[in-house]
Amino acid sequence: MGSQLVGKVALITGASKGIGKAMAAAYAAEGAAVMLSSRKQEALDAAADEIRSVTPDARLATFAANAGEEEQAAACVAATIDRLGALDVLVNNAATNPVAGLTIDADLAAWDKTFKVNLRGCLVWTQYAWRSWMREHGGSVINISSIGGISGMSGIGTYNVTKAGMIHLTKVLAEELAPGVNVNSIAPGLVKTDFARALWEPLGDEIAANLVLPEDIAAAAVFLGSDAASRITGHTLVVDGGALIGRGPR
């Protein structure tokens, strides 16, 4: 077991698979106690069992919650503090992307749902973490954005607009919650996950083999949640394999 996060308690949303599960595994391996949250309890329990198979002494808890529902967010934050004793790191990772196509033709109900989960949800979970623990004890918030929130590419424009909003929200909250709480974001490029399968699978095996992996994002999240990043706030860390400079798929 590593030691970068020993003594810390982390709550990770969207933690049952993909990037979220990789971050939970990395946090546990570095000594943190981790609350895994996502919508489905069965998937959470399976993820926790998988992490324990690699890190047998991992201190884990699970709590099913829809990231877009305020009451469920409040209950999960409260359960984290009650069961694990603190809330030092909040990772806002849960996201939805119900539609693709031209943003000008976006279905407004889908637009509203995407904003409710991705952007409003990010604020809500941070509000409860702040009010319940971090205002008094300090901590770190890590928002999982996307390079789509930087580049403005089309195709999944609604999703990307929420991720651009998350980057700006990160800056605003970093100023408001300083100096006790650091707020940063990670902007992944195209990551080889089931969530993004429709984007990377058509690229072919050779390109897909060189995509950013969930473990790459997890390593960045470990750094931002550790004391090594104590002087970093309001920053967006891009982890895209060079996509924004034209060296990889976007």
- What are the residue numbers of the active site? 159
Bridge partners of 181?
139
**Strand blocks (E) in the chain:** 9-13, 33-38, 60-64, 89-92, 139-144, 181-188, 236-239
Residues with Cβ within 8 Å of 204's Cβ and at least 6 positions away in sequence, in order, are none
Bridge partners of 76?
none
Residues with Cβ within 8 Å of 235's Cβ and at least 6 positions away in sequence, in order, are 174, 184, 185
Neighbours of 198 (CB within 10 A): 11
Q: What is the C-alpha separation between 214 and 212, in angstroms, rounded?
A: 7
Q: Are 73 and 67 in contact (CB under 8 A)?
A: yes
